[in-house]
C-alpha cells in the first residue's frame, strides 16, 4: 500500500521535484524506492503548459494561419509553434530520446512568411517565471533552427527504447471552431506508455463541473480556465489548474463509479467524419442510455471521463481504411487507465502503441469504468457487427 501512495505523492503533489520535495525523495530513497519518471513528468507538464501559452494566443486571434494538409485536414500556426516548443524542451533534457510528432516543417520551409510568423509566436510564448523558462532551455535560436526542431518529430516509432508522442494541437477543427482542443504529450518505453500529459485550455478547472451539451461550444479561453491532466504508469492520474509559470498543486482524479450503465454520460467527437454518430445512437439505445451524447473535440474527452465529469468515450470507425495515430491516444489512454478506467478498441483489444506512428492493429476506442466496460463493449460489437464497414 505504502509504495504506490508515496510514489503518487512524489510525482503528483510537488511543484518542483528537485527542490521542494527533497525530504520526500530522501525518504523514498532511504526505503530504496524508485521514483520513476518524476523528471519526465515534470518536464512534460512544463513543456505542455508553455505550449498552451502559444496556442491560447493563436486561439484568441482572428488569423490562425490555417493550411490544408495532403489528407485535407487542417493545420495552423498554433500546431507548428506548439510542436517546436515542446520538442525544444524535450531535446534540452532528453537529447537521446526519439520523437513521434504529428506535424512536419515542409509547409513552413516553402513559405518564409508563415515560418517567420510561427517563429514570432515561439519567441513570444514564455512562462512567466524566468527560472522555469530557463529550466526548459530558454528560446529557440532562429527560424531555421525552429524548422529543424519541428522535423525532429519524424521518428518512425516502434517498440524499442524511449519515444515521445506529441500532438501539438489535438482537435484542430475544434480549435478553429472555438471548441475544445488539447496539447498532448506521452512517453513510451519499449512500446508501453509510461507518462501522459494533456493540456486542455478550454475545460473548466474544477473536476466536479458536469459536462453538458455545450461544454466546449464557443469556449472562450478565458482567464481562470484550463486544466492539465497527467498520469504515470502505476502511480495514478491527477489534474491541476493550467497555469503560466510554476506548476499549480495537483490532486488525484478517478473515474466515477457507474452502478447502472443506463445512467452513463457518453462523449464522442463533434466531427461526424471522425466517429460514427449514428452507431453511437444505436449503442446508447441498447444500453438504455437516454441522455444525449456530449460532443467534444480532442483528447479532452479522455480527461473528462478520467475526472468523472463524463463516463464513457466511444470512437466508432467511419470507414475501414482509417488508421488511428498514436499521438491522438497515447496520453489519454494512460490517464483513463490510471484513473480506474479500461480502454480498448471496438474489438476489445488494448490500444498498442509499439507498431509505429499508427495504431495499425486497433479500430476505434471504447473507454469506460472497469465495472461496465464489458457491457459497453458487448453493445458496441453487436451494433458494429450488424453492418460491417
Ligand atoms: N476519419 C477519421 N477517423 C478518426 N479520426 C480521424 C479521422 N480523420 C482525422 N482524425 C483524427 O481525429 C482527431 C481529432 O479527434 P476528435 O474528433 O476526437 O477531436 C484529429 O487530430 P488533430 O486534430 O490533431 O489532427 C485526427 O488525427
Ligand atoms: Mg491534425
Ligand atoms: Mg490529434
Ligand atoms: Mg493535432
Question: Which DSSP string corresponds to 169-206?
Answer: EE-HHHHHHTS--EEEEEEEETTEEEEEEEEETTS-S-
State how far the Cα of 348 lies from the Cα of 365, in Å rounded to an integer.
9
Residue 311 annotated to the active site: no
* Distance from residue 204's CA to the centre of ligand 4 (Å): 21
pLDDT at 21: 39
Residue 174 grid cell: 475544434
Report the C-alpha gap between 81 and 108 in whole angstroms.
11
Q: Is 253 annotated as a binding residue?
A: no
335 annotated as belonging to a binding site for a ligand: no
> Quick check: 204 and 231 in contact, CB under 8 A?
no
What is the CB neighbour count within 10 angstroms for residue 74?
15
Average pLDDT, the chain: 90
Q: Which residue is associated with the grid cell 490517464? A: 335
**For ligand 1, which residues put their CB under 6 angstroms from it?**
73, 102, 167, 170-172, 174, 269, 271, 273-274, 297-298, 318, 322, 325, 328
pLDDT tens digits along 278-288: 999 999 999 99
Q: Provide mean pLDDT across the span 337-346.
A: 98
CA–CA gap between residue 166 and residue 197 (Å, rounded): 10
Given 14, 55, 76, 172, the catalytic residue? 172
User: pLDDT exceeding 90 applies to what percent of the chain?
Assistant: 83
Is the pLDDT at 14 greater than 60, yes or no? no
> For residues 338 and 255, what is the distance between their CA atoms, to the nearest angstrom?
9
Model pTM score:
0.92
Assembly ipTM: 0.99
Residues having C-beta closer than 5 Å to ion ligand 2: 73, 172
CA of 112 to the centre of ligand 2 (A): 21
- Cell numbers 486571434 correspond to 61
Cβ-proximal residues to 357 (8 Å cutoff; 6+ apart), any chain: 100, 156, 157, 325, 326
Which atom in ligand 1 lies closest to the alpha carbon of residue 268? 18
User: Residue 169 annotated as binding?
Assistant: yes
**Which one of the listed residues 21, 79, 215, 345 is annotated catalytic?**
79
Cα distance between residue 237 and residue 250, in whole Å: 10
Which residue carries 475544434 as its cell? 174
C-alpha cell at 22: 527533497
Cell of 67: 493550411
3-state class (DSSP) for residue 336: helix
Confidence at residue 215, expressed as pLDDT on a 0 to 100 scale: 58
Of the listed ranges 8-17, 53-62, 80-89, 140-149, the one predicted with least confidence: 8-17
| Phi and psi, residue 75, nearest 5° | -140, 145
237: its cell numbers = 492520474
Q: What is the pLDDT of residue 252?
A: 98
Check if the beta carbon of residue 259 is closer than 8 Å to that of residue 19. Answer: no
With 50 as the cut, is the pLDDT of residue 5 above it?
no
Q: What is the pLDDT of residue 208?
A: 86
Note the ligand closest to the C-alpha atom of 271. 1
Q: Answer yes or no: 172 catalytic.
A: yes
pLDDT (tens digit, 9 = 90+) per residue, 349-365? 999 999 999 999 999 99
Contact 298, 315 (CB under 8 A): no
Condensed to tens digits (0 to 9), the pLDDT of residues 213-226 reads 555 555 665 566 89
Amino acid at each position: 500500500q505504502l509504495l504506490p501512495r508515496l510514489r503518487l505523492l512524489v510525482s503528483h503533489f510537488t511543484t518542483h521535484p528537485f527542490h521542494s520535495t527533497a525530504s520526500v525523495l530522501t525518504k523514498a530513497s532511504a526505503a530504496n524506492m524508485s521514483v520513476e519518471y518524476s523528471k519526465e513528468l515534470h518536464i512534460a507538464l512544463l513543456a505542455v503548459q508553455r505550449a498552451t501559452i502559444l496556442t491560447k494566443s493563436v486561439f484568441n486571434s482572428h488569423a490562425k494561419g490555417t493550411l490544408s494538409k495532403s489528407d485535407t485536414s487542417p493545420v495552423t500556426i498554433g500546431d507548428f509553434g506548439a510542436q517546436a516548443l515542446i520538442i525544444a524542451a524535450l531535446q534540452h533534457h532528453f537529447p537521446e530520446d526519439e520523437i513521434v510528432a504529428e506535424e512536419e516543417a515542409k509547409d513552413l520551409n516553402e513559405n518564409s512568411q508563415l515560418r517567420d510568423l510561427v517563429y514570432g509566436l515561439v519567441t513570444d510564448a514564455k512562462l512567466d517565471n524566468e527560472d522555469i523558462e530557463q529550466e526548459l532551455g530558454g528560446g529557440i535560436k532562429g527560424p531555421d533552427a525552429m524548422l529543424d526542431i519541428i522535423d525532429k518529430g519524424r521518428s518512425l516509432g516502434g517498440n524499442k527504447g524511449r519515444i515521445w508522442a506529441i500532438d501539438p494541437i489535438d482537435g484542430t477543427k475544434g480549435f478553429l471552431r472555438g471548441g475544445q482542443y488539447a496539447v498532448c504529450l506521452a512517453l513510451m518505453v519499449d512500446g508501453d506508455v509510461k507518462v501522459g500529459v494533456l493540456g486542455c485550455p478550454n475545460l473548466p478547472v474544477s473536476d466536479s463541473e458536469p459536462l453538458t451539451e455545450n461544454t466546449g461550444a464557443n469556449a472562450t479561453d478565458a482567464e481562470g480556465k484550463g486544466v492539465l491532466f497527467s498520469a504515470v504508469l502505476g502511480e495514478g492520474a491527477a489534474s491541476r489548474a493550467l497555469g503560466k509559470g510554476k506548476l499549480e498543486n495537483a490532486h488525484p482524479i478517478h473515474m466515477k463509479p457507474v452502478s447502472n450503465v443506463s445512467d452513463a454520460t457518453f462523449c464522442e467527437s463533434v466531427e461526424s467524419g471522425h466517429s460514427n454518430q449514428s452507431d453511437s445512437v444505436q449503442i446508447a439505445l441498447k444500453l438504455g442510455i437516454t441522455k444525449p451524447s456530449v460532443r467534444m473535440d480532442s483528447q479532452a474527452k479522455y480527461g473528462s471521463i478520467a475526472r468523472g465529469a463524463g463516463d464513457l468515450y466511444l470512437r466508432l470507425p467511419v470507414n475501414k481504411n482509417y488508421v488511428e495515430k498514436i499521438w491522438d491516444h497515447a496520453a489519454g489512454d494512460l490517464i483513463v487507465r490510471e484513473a480506474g478506467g479500461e480502454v480498448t478498441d471496438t474489438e476489445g483489444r488494448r490500444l498498442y502503441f509499439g507498431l509505429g506512428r499508427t495504431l495499425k492493429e486497433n479500430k476505434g476506442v471504447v473507454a469506460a469504468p472497469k465495472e461496465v466496460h464489458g457491457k459497453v463493449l458487448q453493445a458496441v460489437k453487436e451494433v458494429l457487427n450488424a453492418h460491417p464497414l
